[in-house]
Amino acid sequence: MEQDEDVDMTATSSPSLLKRNASNSSGDHDSKISAGLDQEAMEEEESNRRERAVMERIEQEASAKLDEEIRQEEKMNRKERAAREQLEQEIIEDKEGEEREQLNIEEKEMLLMDKAISVLPSLPYFHHHIISKRRRLDGGHGMVDDVPDVSLFKNTIQTLESVIERLKSDLTRMEAAHARGSAELGRWWQESKEKTRIELKEWMKLPSRKAGKAEDQDSRPSYRQSKYQKYGRQMCMPEIGFDGQIKLTKSKVLIVGLGGLGCPAAGYLARAGVGTLGLVDGDTVETSNLHRQTLYLEEDVGQSKVLTAYGRLRQMNSRIHYERYDYRLTPEKAPKLFDQYDVILDCTDRQSSRYFISDAAVVTRKPLVHASALGTMGQFMVLNNPPSLIDGNAHQGPCYRCIFPKPMRPENSRSCAEAGVLGPVVGVMGIVMAMEAIKLITQPNSTPWYMIYNAYSKEPFKMLNLNRKNQNCVACSEKCTITRELLESGSLDYDEFCGGRINYDVLEDHQRMSVRDCKRLMDSKPQEHVLVDVRDKVQFDIGHVKGSINLPISTIYQSPDAGLGALGQELDFQPTLGKNPTVHFICRYGNDSRLALRQILDSQRIREHGTLDYGRRRYLMGMDVIGGYDAWRKEIDPWLPDY
């Protein structure tokens, strides 16, 4: 019985014990869950705190960067104002100097006439005193006021002969006046002195100072001794000579664009003594300009190109006149501006600018010197020479539209920033432009020609004859439709004519990602993501994102399917990639990579299969990296080269 009770008690107590054990187990489990949740909450809070700290740091850095930019801008504004004030002061001083110089000339002439009149009673010494005085005033050189001694001697003898003849005729009058008294003699002497002053004043002008063609073959236009010294080396050449130098002094040349072409052209034209040099540009100096734009220094970065170039050119030649146009030239302003000049130099690098500058040169009947350079090559031609008169004359020179009736497609027209350029190549083309401008001024009747320059060719210069103008040209033929009124009205859209701006908006938002997102993907799963750089190989070799591979966009443009084959072949040699990696695209600024990805997505292979199957892998097309290499350098890796 006791045994049964024991059994019953055991049976009775077992459920209670099990319940307590179950309750304890449940409590432990709940506490573990609660601890886990608390840990996750703490980790989430810590993550949020870190993100807030990062955001605050970014905001502080952005604010500091903005403050620094504001300070730099204020500094540049102060420098620019100081430069403007200095230039204005130099202009004022230059004008005052010219006025003082003119006054000195007049004082010298008056002093000389007084001296000549004072020695009239001693006629044998008249010529000696005049010559000696003028030579002393001129510094003792063999040239007297820039006129050869032989010319001065001939004019002196003629003047003396006329004075002697008049004095002989007045001799009897003087004797009669002397007989009538000293008062009459005094009046006669004053009259004679005034007549002599007039004669000497005419003699002082000399044939070289008279307007028009002088009768004396030895006479020359007014030219200072300093100008002979400055331009003498080119004046002694038969191609220039004295007459050619006078033409240069009276000429007016307009340079549109003060970049790699405009800087050397402006420098040589200023040194050659062109009378008026017009400078047109609306840009400021950048660091990337310094390797080829020879008028600028490191200290000029951020300053106006026109004002900086003006200051440098005045240091080269302060005796010519400069006109400054610190703005971008437009079709509406071009004709009125071109009217003021004899020769136009197109030193721009935009396709649309070349077309409207040529059209403006045609309607204003101005010869146009054109050149361009890219990479290691350049081209040059003289257009609209002789100027087109819209009368069907077959001997008139062609315009830019005659040579290039249709503009190049925007995607094929690359700038120096995209394709690069060698500094000396641009310098060569700018110097050739200056030389041709001098030829147009001194020898205007020349045959149109076209020059191609290749710096790395065995024969770098190749000369071609330009065809005569296109008889159906819309700008310079009898059938022309472009008029001055149409240009000045602003109704011609040259950007649209040249293909407009390239449409880079070819991807959806979900097909693009930031450089930080790309960095996160590449770091977290490097075997599943690969970055393709579509820049040229030369730029890729300068600097690239670590782990990226190179596929130039030119290869993709030639044939997207062939480009995919080249891409697959390149990726097949990447041993670290998985079986199904995703391909992302990057370029320099985030523009070409969009076009490259769009081309690949529209290719037949991707449209049919959705993926690129090559070798043992299947590649998925991923996203474009916003901002490209430049954004990666600024936000991720500042040690990458900034070229």
CATH number for the domain harbouring residue 515 = 3.40.250.10
User: Is 262 found in the same domain as 389?
Assistant: yes
Pairing type for strands 343-346 and 368-374 reads parallel
User: Is 515 found in the same domain as 485?
Assistant: no
Decide if 443 is inside a domain.
Answer: yes
pLDDT above 90 as % of the chain: 27
223-236: pLDDT as tens digits: 566 677 788 888 88
Domain boundary among 218, 236, 254: 236
Decide if 585 is inside a domain.
Answer: yes
Decide if 27 is inside a domain.
Answer: yes
What is the pLDDT averaged over residues 615-632?
88
pLDDT computed for residue 215 by the predictor: 38
User: Is 319 found in the same domain as 245?
Assistant: yes
pLDDT above 70 as % of the chain: 68
Q: Are 421 and 375 a contacting pair, CB within 8 Å?
A: yes
pLDDT computed for residue 120 by the predictor: 46
Average pLDDT of the residues of the chain: 77
What is the pLDDT averaged over residues 147-156?
51
Total of domains in the chain = 4
User: Is 249 found in the same domain as 230?
Assistant: no
Region at 628 (left for phi over 0; alpha for psi -120 to 50; beta for the rest): left
If one counts every other C-beta atom within 10 angstroms of the C-beta of residue 196, the result is 18
Identify the H or E element spanning 8: helix 2-118
Decide if 83 is inside a domain.
Answer: no
Q: How many CA atoms lie within 13 A of 229 on its CB side?
A: 6
Tell me the C-alpha distance between 31 and 25, whole Å: 10
User: Is 244 found in the same domain as 214?
Assistant: no
Indicate which residues carry an active-site annotation. 416, 587
Domain boundary among 179, 208, 236: 236
Q: Is the pLDDT of residue 211 over 50?
A: no
The three-class DSSP label of residue 341 is: coil
User: pTM higher than 0.85, yes or no?
Assistant: no
pLDDT computed for residue 551 by the predictor: 87
Q: Is the pLDDT of residue 212 over 70?
A: no
pLDDT computed for residue 85 by the predictor: 76
For the sheet containing 252-256, what is the strand order? 321-325, 276-280, 252-256, 343-346, 368-374, 377-383, 449-454, 461-465
159-208: pLDDT as tens digits: 666 666 666 666 666 666 555 555 555 666 666 666 665 655 554 443 33
- Block residue for tokens 């077309």: 355
Q: Residue 562 carries which side chain, given as an amino acid letter?
A: A
Query: What CATH number did the domain enclosing 467 receive?
Result: 3.40.50.720
182-205 vs 149-180: helix crossing angle, rounded to 10: 170
pLDDT computed for residue 501 by the predictor: 66
Tell me the C-alpha distance between 521 and 511, whole Å: 15
- The 8-class DSSP code of residue 384 comes to S
Q: Is the pLDDT of residue 391 over 70?
A: no
User: Is 227 found in the same domain as 335?
Assistant: no
DSSP H helical ranges for 275-364: 305-316, 334-338, 351-363
265: closest CA among 251, 247, 253, 281?
A: 253
Decide if 76 is inside a domain.
Answer: no
Residue 34's domain comprises 1-71
Q: Is the pLDDT of residue 95 over 70?
A: no
Query: Is the model more confident about 494 or about 227?
Result: 494
User: Is 269 found in the same domain as 208?
Assistant: no
Q: Is the pLDDT of residue 427 over 80?
A: yes
Question: How confident is residue 544, by pLDDT bands cut at 50, 70 and 90?
Answer: very high
pLDDT computed for residue 392 by the predictor: 47
What is the pLDDT averaged over residues 433-438?
94
Decide if 142 is inside a domain.
Answer: yes
User: Is 369 found in the same domain as 245?
Assistant: yes
Tell me the C-alpha distance between 637 and 546, whole Å: 10
The three-class DSSP label of residue 371 is: strand
User: Is 64 found in the same domain as 205?
Assistant: no
Tell me the C-alpha distance between 281 and 587, whole Å: 30
Q: Are 310 and 87 a contacting pair, CB within 8 Å?
A: yes
Domain boundary among 173, 202, 236: 236
Q: Which residues contact 401 (CB under 8 A, 6 or more apart)?
A: 355, 358, 359, 470, 473, 474, 475, 476
User: Is 129 found in the same domain as 45?
Assistant: no
DSSP per-residue codes, 510-579: GGEE-HHHHHHHHHH-TTTEEEEE-S-HHHHHH---TT-EE--HHHHHH-HHHHHHHHHHHHTT-TT--S
pLDDT computed for residue 201 by the predictor: 53
User: Is 313 found in the same domain as 218?
Assistant: no
577-617: pLDDT as tens digits: 878 888 999 998 888 899 889 888 888 778 777 778 777 77
User: Is 245 found in the same domain as 207?
Assistant: no
365-380: pLDDT as tens digits: 999 999 998 888 899 9
Least confident of 97-101, 142-146, 259-263, 411-415: 142-146
Decide if 209 is inside a domain.
Answer: yes
Decide if 504 is inside a domain.
Answer: no
Tell me the C-alpha distance between 517 and 172, whole Å: 113
Tell me the C-alpha distance between 270 and 214, whole Å: 29
